[in-house]
Every structure is written in structure tokens, then in C-alpha cells.
């Protein structure tokens, strides 16, 4: 069966992913099982998506109940799960309004459009440029791709959209020099996930906020990978004691369901009037009901604090690993979004871990990324460290 599924996938699906030779069939909590019956501990969670783990009963129950009631109507009408989810997000963030969509890339598209429209509505037609960060990742649609600071991802798709400038991440002087009266916003990730789990200095986001306030421009934070408790706070920017004007979410917001969200202060959100933007499936009753169960469970089970505590333990174990092995050079990240920088290619280690029953991945060639479910335990971390010890 496994061979057949792999062959048919390679024949029928677009070859956009270099897939590893395993067919996952089911999951429960932090565990996955393949079609051969082998069990794996999931330290990737669908790339920081399944914060609750797999097949969480609260999400199952919410989806089943809503599927029997109402799956979809268009956004020309009011629905209950959508407003309940929006109410939770607004009540737990800086924002006044929410726009729901289907993915992180779409959330970033909405943020880019909103930032431009704020100033277009004010009559400032020349203020449309957005400053983004080198090595950033914001998505693969043409707008979010244009805002992404990695040329390798843009290859084959030039010309990208105009209106984006790039400065080095964590370089406040470069950002200051790039701001002029054509800039409408600064767009960045609190931690660069796809860029290699790169954290800025402790005061960087505060300085970005000050520059944006001084220049009268918007601060957009892409919290698609860092949000929903991943770093030990509900949103990563809370570690810095600041708030953006616009924030994008996806991934762990739905625990595997296709949902994205753009949150904004009223001063910015007001630019999105009727007809300014839209979506067919964004915030549909079924998905909104599932996502509401996700966020309520994160809160009820104390998973944000758990991510902070477990993450600190994980960091300590990885740092000890670095002391034992010259190949492991540094630990990056915060909470349960962590990277282990190697002095060699990481892909062979990913393969070896998979053979031994651990799901991780490698980014930027030499950084092993760990983004497990927020329910991961110390004993599972210890088992992974033992595996890495043996491989290294």
C-alpha cells in the first residue's frame, strides 16, 4: 500500500514538495502512525500547526456538531461561530477588528492591501511602499511572495510586484535609513521561522515600534508561525511589551483546519469598507467553529504557559547537546519554536531521525527545526535528544 500511495502521489500531484518516503495514516496527541504501522513522535506539528496535537477531542466534537448544523453560507450573511471566534481574538489581543481567510499567505495579502488603502484613502497616493526584512517569509502568492526576502523562493516568478524594499533583520539603523515619505508600513516576523529560527535582540521590536510611530506608518507583524502560544506567550510580540497595528495569524489558529486571520486596530481596519476585500470561504461556520474550539482549548488547558516551561527545558537539553557535539553549534528560538544550528547539512539527520521514529525538518540547509505540539512532554524531548546524541 505504501509504495502504491507514493507512486500515485508522484504521478498525480504537482511536484512542489520533496516528500520523504513515509505515508502517514493517523495521529493522536503527539504521535503519528504510518501505513506500515510504525509510530513516530511529531516534533514538527505540520510546521507549527497542530499545537493541540493530532485528533484533539474538543476539535473533533466541535466540527461534528457544526457539520450537522451549518457548513457554509457566504459572507453576505451573519453567522454565529465567526463572530464568536472574532470576539475571542479581539478580547485576547490589541485588535479591534478581524478579517478571516483561508491561509497565512491570504492573511498577509489582506495586510498588504489594508496598509496601502489606509494611505490611499487619506489622499497620500505616493505612500505605498512596504519595508520588509531580508530572509523573511510571508507566503507564495504574488503579493506575499513579493514581500518575502528570500530570492531563492522568487526564482522563476519575476517580475514580482513593485513597492517592497528590504533591509537586514535586527538592524534598526538600516530600517531607519530606509524610511521615507513613500513608506506606508514595516512588515516583519517577531522570529524568522523559515529564515532559520532567527531571533532579534531584546529591544528590536520596541525600536521598530518607535520608528513606525515617529514616521506615522503602520507596523505589520506576521505571527503566522509564532502566534497562538508557540513562543510561550499567546503572541510573540507580547515578550517585547508592544503591539502592532496589523497582525496576521494562521497555522495553529486552526490546528490543521484551513484558516487565516488578519487583525487590526480600528484606525487601520476602517479602511476596509464594503467591497474593499473579500473571501468565499474565510470564516465559514464549520472552520470557525473548529478554530473556536482550538483557541478555547489553548486557554483552558494552559498551553501557553506550558509552552514556555517545556520550551525552557527543551532549550537546556539542546544546549547540553551542543556542549557534547562539535557539529551542533548553537540553539535558536523561544518557547517551542526552536532551531539547532549545525556546521554541516541537516537533511541527512532529518532522514536518520525519521528512521528512528522522530519527525523534524531542516531549514536554510543547516538548521534543524523543532516545532512540536504544545502538549509535548519532557520524556518525549529526552527521547529525541537521545536520538540526536546517537546520530551526531
Q: Which residues are catalytic?
A: 137, 222, 251
Nearest alpha carbon to residue 225 among 87, 113, 339 = 339
Taking CB atoms within 8 Å and a gap of at least 24, the contacts of 22-29 are 22/354, 26/54, 26/55, 27/53, 27/54, 27/55, 28/53, 28/54, 28/55, 29/53, 29/54, 29/55, 29/373, 29/375
DSSP β-bridge partners for residue 192: 198
Distance CA 204, CA 206 (A): 5
3-class secondary-structure state, position 54: strand
Cell of 349: 539527520
Asked if 224 and 248 touch (Cβ cutoff 8 Å), the reply is yes
Asked if 59 and 50 touch (Cβ cutoff 8 Å), the reply is no
3-class secondary-structure state, position 180: coil
Asked if 184 and 151 touch (Cβ cutoff 8 Å), the reply is no
Cell of 363: 531549514
Amino acid at each position: 500500500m505504501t509504495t502504491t500511495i507514493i507512486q500515485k502521489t508522484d504521478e498525480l500531484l504537482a511536484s512542489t514538495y520533496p516528500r520523504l518516503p513515509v505515508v502517514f495514516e493517523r495521529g493522536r496527541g503527539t504521535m503519528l502512525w504510518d501505513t506500515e504501522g510504525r509510530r513516530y513522535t511529531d516534533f514538527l506539528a505540520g510546521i507549527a500547526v497542530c499545537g493541540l496535537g493530532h485528533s484533539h477531542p474538543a476539535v473533533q466534537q466541535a466540527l461534528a456538531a457544526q457539520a450537522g448544523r451549518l457548513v457554509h453560507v457566504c459572507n453576505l450573511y451573519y453567522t454565529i461561530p465567526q463572530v464568536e471566534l472574532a470576539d475571542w481574538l479581539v478580547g485576547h489581543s490589541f485588535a479591534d477588528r478581524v478579517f478571516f481567510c483561508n491561509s497565512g499567505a491570504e492573511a498577509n495579502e489582506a495586510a498588504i492591501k489594508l496598509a496601502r488603502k489606509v494611505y490611499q484613502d487619506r489622499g497620500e497616493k505616493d505612500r505605498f511602499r512596504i519595508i520588509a526584512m531580508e530572509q523573511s517569509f510571508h507566503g507564495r502568492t504574488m503579493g506575499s511572495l513579493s514581500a518575502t526576502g528570500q530570492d531563492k523562493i522568487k526564482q522563476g516568478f519575476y517580475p514580482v510586484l513593485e513597492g517592497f524594499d528590504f533591509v537586514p533583520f535586527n538592524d534598526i539603523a538600516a530600517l531607519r535609513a530606509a524610511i521615507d515619505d513613500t513608506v506606508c508600513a514595516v512588515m516583519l516576523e517577531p522570529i524568522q521561522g523559515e529564515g532559520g529560527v532567527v531571533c532579534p535582540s531584546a529591544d528590536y521590536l520596541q525600536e521598530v515600534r518607535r520608528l513606525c510611530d515617529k514616521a506615522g506608518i503602520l507596523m505589520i507583524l506576521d505571527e503566522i508561525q509564532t502566534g497562538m502560544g508557540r513562543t510561550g506567550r499567546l503572541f510573540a510580540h507580547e515578550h517585547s511589551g508592544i503591539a502592532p497595528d496589523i497582525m496576521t495569524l494562521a497555522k495553529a489558529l486552526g490546528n490543521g483546519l484551513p484558516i487565516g486571520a488578519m487583525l487590526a486596530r480600528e484606525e487601520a481596519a476602517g479602511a476596509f469598507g464594503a467591497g474593499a476585500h473579500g473571501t468565499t470561504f474565510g470564516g465559514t461556520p464549520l472552520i470557525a467553529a473548529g478554530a473556536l474550539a482550538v483557541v478555547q482549548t489553548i486557554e483552558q488547558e494552559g498551553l501557553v504557559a506550558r509552552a514556555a516551561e517545556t520550551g525552557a527545558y527543551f532549550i537546556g537539553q539542546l544546549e547540553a547537546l551542543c556542549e557534547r557535539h562539535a557539529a551542533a553549534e548553537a540553539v535558536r528560538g523561544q518557547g517551542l519554536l526552536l532551531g539547532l544550528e549545525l556546521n554541516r547539512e541537516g537533511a541527512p539527520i532529518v532522514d536518520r531521525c525519521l528512521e528512528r521514529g522522530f519527525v523534524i525538518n531542516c531549514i536554510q540547509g543547516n538548521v534543524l527545526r523543532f516545532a512540536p505540539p504544545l502538549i509535548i512532554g519532557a520524556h518525549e524531548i529526552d527521547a529525541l535528544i537521545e536520538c540526536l546524541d546517537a546520530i551526531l
